Amino acid sequence: MADVKKFTTVEELEADTTKLYERACELCADTWQQRAEAQKNHCKFGEGGICCKNCSMGPCRITPKAPKGICGADAHAIAARNYLRMICAGTSSHSDHAREILHVLHETKPEGPYIVRDEQKLIRLAREWDVAVDNRDIYSIAHEVAEKGLEEFGKSFGEMRFPSRAIESQQAIWRREGIWPRAIDREVVTSLHMTHMGNSADPEALIRQGMRTALSHGWGGSMLGTEITDILFGTPTVWETEGNLGVLENDLVNIVVHGHDPVFSEAIVTAAESKEILDYAKSKNIKGINVVGLCCTANEIAMRHGVRMVGNFLQQENAILTGAVEMMCVDIQCIFPALPQLAQCFHTKFVTSSPIARIPGADYVEFNPSTASEQAKLLVKQAIDNFEYRDTSKVWIPESKQTAVVGYPTEQIIKHLDAITNSHVDEIGSYRPAVDAIKAGVLRGAVAIVGCNNPRVRPDFSHYEIIKTLLKNDILVVATGCAAQLATKTGLMRKEAKFECGAGLRRVCDLMDIPPVLHMGACVDISRMMLLANGIARDWGINLDQIPVVGCAPEWMSEKAVSIANYVVSTGLDVYLGIEPQVNGSSQMMEWITEGTRKLTGGGFIINTDPEQLVKNIIDGIEAKRKALGI
C-alpha cells in the first residue's frame, strides 16, 4: 500500500508561516498577521451591512435609537443595497477580465504572439452563436466570435446567450422569476442605479436584481473568461505538478506570477522557456529559471503547463519573505497593496502590469498583448540580472511541498468517465456513469469547494477539515481557486489521497484513475462547475436543485465570492458558507439569503462558522437530497 502518511497538515503549514512571520518581524516588515491584529474588533455596522454612505446627508448608521437613515432607509434597505453593490463589484471583476481576453482573441493572428490553440472549441462556440464556419479561415472565425462575445457586455436589446446552455427546467425558472440577464454591463449599471439614493429600498427587489447580475457573471462573464481562455491557451489537460513554498529553488532564478489573467503569465512562462532567455541565463552562469504561480494565476498555468504552485492567497507575503524571489509579476485581483513595501526588505523586484491594479511602490510595466513576447523577455532578463543581488543570509525556503495531479475541466472528467463505460453520446459527452454511481450510493454526491482563505478564521483549516471529512463519506470534491491550492499543498490532490476516502469513492478513483479532489481551475472557472452540475442534472433527467451536488466556500473573502455564491444559488444549488455575508444587521436580508432565494430557484445559503458543523450540514444536505430522490 502506498504511503498515505505523507499529507502535510495545517499545523505543519502554520509552522512555516510562523517562522516566516518571525523573520518579517525581525526585518520590521509589515505582514497580514500584524495588520489583522490591528484591525481586530471589526466595525459592527460594517459587519452587519448597516452603514450607508450613498449620499452626503450621511453616512448613516442604523442603531436601535436611530433605526432609519436621514432619507428613511431602514436596516433592510441599506444592507440589501450594500450587498447588491458587492455583487456588482464581483461581477465586474471576472467579467472585465473576460472582456480583456476577448480583445486578445480579436487580435490573434497566425504569427502570434497570441494564436488560437483550441480550434475545436472555437468552432463549437462559433456554431453555438451562429457564426459561419465552413470554408473560413480560423482567425476570421476567431475575430467574429470575439465580437459576438463582446456584445454580451453591452447589447442594447435582447438577452445573454450562455444561460440557454442550462437545462430547460432551469431556464424556465429564470424566465418565471424574471432574472434572465440581459447584458453584463447593463445588469451592473441597473444595480448601481437601483442602489443610488432615492431608489430601491425593497430587499426582495434588490435580491432579485442581485441574482440577475450574478447570473450575468456565472453564465456570462465567467463562462466567457473560461471558454475564451481555453480557445487561446488550450483546454486544460491532466498534469502532475507540485505545490507549496518548497517549489522555490535555492539555486535558480525564482519568478512568481500572481493574479488571475493568463494572458500575462502565459507570456512570462513562454519567455522563460525560450532559447534566447536560456542562453542569456547561461551567459550569467545561472542554472535555470523557475517560474511558479500564486493565487489563481497558479491554477491557470498549472493546468496548461504543469507549472508549479507556490501558494494561495494568504501565502503571497510568505513567498517574498523567503528572500529567494527575484521577481514577483502581478496582473489583476487579490494582490495585496502591501507587497511592494515588503519586497523592498529584500532584493525582490515587484512588477505590476495592468492599469486595473496600480500599486504605489511597484515597477509598472503596462502589458500590451501586441508586444507581449518582448515585454515578457525583458522582465525575465531583469529577474536574471537580479539574481546576483540575492542576500543568501536572508534566504529561508521551507522544505514543504507536495505533488498534485491537476487539470480536470469538464472535458477531462467526461474523458475519464468514458474510460469506464464508453458512454460518450455526443460532442458534449455524458455524465451517466457518474449519475449511476451516485444513484447506486457508491458516491453519495459531490461538493464544489471554492474560494479564498481568510484571517477571520484559522486560514486553510476549514478547507482541510471539510475536504477530508467529505472524502471519508464518499463525497467527491471538485475544487477551484485558493481552495484547490490548499488541496495541492496538503497532498489531497494526489491520486494516493484515495486512501483517505470511503470504500465507494476509492473505487471510483481506481476505476477513473483520478484523485478524489479534482482540480477544475481558477475562481473564474467556477463556470466549469456550473456546466458540470448542469450536465449531471441533464443526464439524470431531474432539476438542478434536486441533484446531490452543492457548493461550499468555507473561507471566502472577496466580492467576487459574493457574486459567485449568488450565481450558484440562482442556478438552484445550495451554497455552504463558513464566513457570514455582511448583512446580519438586517433580519430580512438574513432570511432572504438563507431561505428567500430557495423559494425562487431552489438554492440558498447555509452558514456555519464552525467547520466541523458546516461539514455535518453539507453531509446532511446531500443525504436529504438523496432521500427526496428515493435513493
Residues contributing to the site for ligand MSK (CB under 6 A): 260, 295-296, 313, 334, 451-452, 481-482, 522-523, 558, 560
Is the CB of 200 or the CB of 353 nearer to ligand SF4? 200
313 binds, among ligand SF4, ligand MSK, none (CB under 5 to 8 A by kind): ligand MSK
* Burial readout 250-278 (b: 16 or more C-beta within 10 A, e: otherwise): eebbbbbbbbbbbbbbbbbbbbbeeeebe
CA 262 to CA 233: how far, in whole Å? 8
Is the CB of 61 or the CB of 106 nearer to ligand SF4? 61
CA 476 to CA 495: how far, in whole Å? 13
478 binds, among ligand SF4, ligand MSK, none (CB under 5 to 8 A by kind): none
Beta carbons within 10 angstroms of residue 228's beta carbon: 26
- Smallest separation, CB 60 to ligand SF4 (Å): 3
73 binds, among ligand SF4, ligand MSK, none (CB under 5 to 8 A by kind): ligand SF4
452 binds, among ligand SF4, ligand MSK, none (CB under 5 to 8 A by kind): ligand MSK
- Smallest separation, CB 563 to ligand SF4 (Å): 22
Cell of 439: 444513484
58 binds, among ligand SF4, ligand MSK, none (CB under 5 to 8 A by kind): ligand SF4
52 binds, among ligand SF4, ligand MSK, none (CB under 5 to 8 A by kind): ligand SF4
Is the CB of 86 or the CB of 320 nearer to ligand SF4? 86
542 binds, among ligand SF4, ligand MSK, none (CB under 5 to 8 A by kind): none
State the residues that interact with ligand SF4 by CB under 6 A.
Answer: 52-55, 57-60, 69-71, 73, 78, 197
- Smallest separation, CB 450 to ligand MSK (Å): 7
Q: Please answer whether residues 487 and 493 qualify as being in contact, where contact means their C-beta atoms are separated by less than 8 angstroms.
A: yes
- Smallest separation, CB 82 to ligand SF4 (Å): 10
Is the CB of 53 or the CB of 599 nearer to ligand SF4? 53
Whose cell is 436601535? That residue is 64
| Widest CA span in the chain | 73
Nearest to 312 by CA among 328, 330, 298: 298
- Smallest separation, CB 32 to ligand MSK (Å): 12
79 binds, among ligand MSK, ligand SF4, none (CB under 5 to 8 A by kind): none
CA 77 to CA 118: how far, in whole Å? 47
Is the CB of 201 or the CB of 522 nearer to ligand MSK? 522
Nearest to 512 by CA among 531, 522, 498: 498
Is the CB of 51 or the CB of 622 nearer to ligand SF4? 51
Nearest to 162 by CA among 209, 246, 224: 224
- Smallest separation, CB 404 to ligand MSK (Å): 16
CA 205 to CA 596: how far, in whole Å? 12
Cell of 396: 529561508
334 binds, among ligand SF4, ligand MSK, none (CB under 5 to 8 A by kind): ligand MSK
- Smallest separation, CB 77 to ligand SF4 (Å): 8
60 binds, among ligand SF4, ligand MSK, none (CB under 5 to 8 A by kind): ligand SF4
Is the CB of 188 or the CB of 483 nearer to ligand MSK? 483
Q: Please answer whether residues 76 and 589 qualify as being in contact, where contact means their C-beta atoms are separated by less than 8 angstroms.
A: yes
- 355: preceding bond cis by omega (within 30 degrees): no
Cell of 375: 515585454
Cell of 306: 504543469
Is the CB of 59 or the CB of 541 nearer to ligand SF4? 59
Is the CB of 179 or the CB of 334 nearer to ligand MSK? 334
- 340: preceding bond cis by omega (within 30 degrees): no
Is the CB of 79 or the CB of 269 nearer to ligand SF4? 79
Backbone angles phi, psi at 510, to 5 degrees: -65, -45
CA 560 to CA 581: how far, in whole Å? 12
Q: Calculate Rg over the CA atoms of the chain.
A: 24
